[in-house]
Amino acid sequence: KIQRNVALLPRFLTYVFSGYYNHAPITSVEVLDMSNPSAGWSSTSSALPKDRQRSTAVVANGMVYLVGGLSSLTGDRNNRYFFNDYVSAAATASISSWVAGTINYAPRKYNVGAFTWGCDYGYYSSSTGLTVLHPVTADSSSSSIELRVVLPPSAIPYPASLQHWFDFSDSEYGDVQVSKLAAFSDKMGKATNLIINGNVQYKPNIQNGKGAIFIDTDVTALTFSSTYAGRNPEVFLAYRAVCQCTRFNNHLGSNISAGQFFGDDANGYWFGTYRLDDNFVGTSTTTGHPIVSLRADYADWHVADIFLGETGNNGFIKIDGTNTASFDINLKYHSVSLSAISLGGTTLAVGHVVDNYIGEVFIFDSQLTESSRSILTADLMNKWVTATCGASTAPAN
């Protein structure tokens, strides 16, 4: 089987689409679960609605897309065409169905005579959305490169339960370091009463070429009000805790860290370093007692996934999609819902600061499916955690 197309959800799923074998096109889809690769490839997914060679496979926001592709060898091989459409499906371990959509440009003729030249390339970015590159021209006398947006970011939505989204790598925050952020915004447009408390700094190009907020002073945070997050939200943070530089003395102990970089200023939903050792993060109660904690080295960026389940330890913290601890919020907070939200620190009381960067925050009003969770984790890991490099440099790790 040759001319197959591959799409990856790093550390989760690998898809192989279509292909060509024994002078006939293949429309099957095979999936490998990367958490259990010894189980082998599954071929239970729905086949593609039509054969397409050399299509572009892209995974974005819980969906897998196959864009374009080359018509089969039936007929004159020098008059084959790229398909003027795409097909999409939910990116699950077994794809149940495909939906077709059109592309707003004309089919591109394949007439260069070499099968290996008939390829498209594609990627997803939060700036341009689903984007493809076509290197083959529509005439036989020359070649060209066209970069086209198939679907803008707004057309590839996250799950409907997403209520708040803050991305400090967006262009609106600029490319200049500032000692106090001038403004911040919720990409979902639902946050109200947005306030910059203290000197919330902005650092451009701080991780993988992206900017983030930085907090290292007391009673400093970005705060906002929400009537959407609810009582049992699931929260994703792309962050780095730098150090427990501020020490604190209270009835719970001496010379402790009492840092928080996410929570509710009505006193609850805390995530930070309260009474934890170096290189640990976790959740804590209204009274400052740790609930659960996990190791997450302060030298590195991480993705924290926190589901604030009600009872029976049905909530959890996951760090970088693998390290997990279970807990619940029953009788642990003064807050009755996540409504007075604080990012990077807290204004509730003095002494509750841990030096930290925050790059991106997602707040969903309910628990995600495992598929949606895995895909968002992979997207954030690729964006904030996995080292990137330029053409002439190697990754640092």
* CATH number of the structural domain spanning residue 352: 2.60.120.200
The whole-chain average pLDDT of the chain stands at: 84
We report the CATH number of the domain holding residue 13 as: 2.120.10.80
- Is residue 172 domain-shared with residue 61, that is, in the same domain? no
Task: State the pLDDT at residue 79.
Answer: 61
Q: Which domain holds residue 185?
A: 162-385
Task: State the pLDDT at residue 70.
Answer: 75
Residue type, position 392, single letter: S
Considering the entire predicted model, what is its pTM?
0.72
φ and ψ at residue 376, rounded to 5 degrees: -65, -40
- Is residue 79 domain-shared with residue 192, that is, in the same domain? no
Within-domain flag for 390: no
- Is residue 106 domain-shared with residue 244, that is, in the same domain? no
- Is residue 129 domain-shared with residue 147, that is, in the same domain? yes
Task: State the pLDDT at residue 198.
Answer: 96
- Is residue 169 domain-shared with residue 39, that is, in the same domain? no
Domain termination residue (choose one: 155, 189, 208): 155
- Is residue 9 domain-shared with residue 59, that is, in the same domain? yes
Residue 242 carries which DSSP code? E
Task: State the pLDDT at residue 264.
Answer: 96
From 171, 198, 206, select the one nearest 185 (Cα to Cα): 171
Task: State the pLDDT at residue 275.
Answer: 87
| Number of domains present in the structure of the chain | 2
Burial of 230 (0-12, 13-18, 19+ CB in 10 A): middle
d(CA 133, CA 67): 10
Domain termination residue (choose one: 155, 187, 206): 155
- Is residue 307 domain-shared with residue 326, that is, in the same domain? yes
- Is residue 226 domain-shared with residue 366, that is, in the same domain? yes
Q: How many CB atoms lie within 10 A of CB 359?
A: 26
Domain termination residue (choose one: 107, 138, 155): 155
- Is residue 181 domain-shared with residue 330, that is, in the same domain? yes
- Residue pLDDT, tens place only, 12-35: 788 888 777 777 778 889 999 887
- Residue pLDDT, tens place only, 344-382: 999 988 888 999 999 999 999 999 988 788 878 888 998
HSE-up of residue 291 (Cα within 13 Å, Cβ side):
27
- Is residue 134 domain-shared with residue 166, that is, in the same domain? no
d(CA 309, CA 388): 35
Instruction: Indicate whether 74 pLDDT > 60.
Output: no
- Is residue 226 domain-shared with residue 359, that is, in the same domain? yes
- Is residue 202 domain-shared with residue 126, that is, in the same domain? no
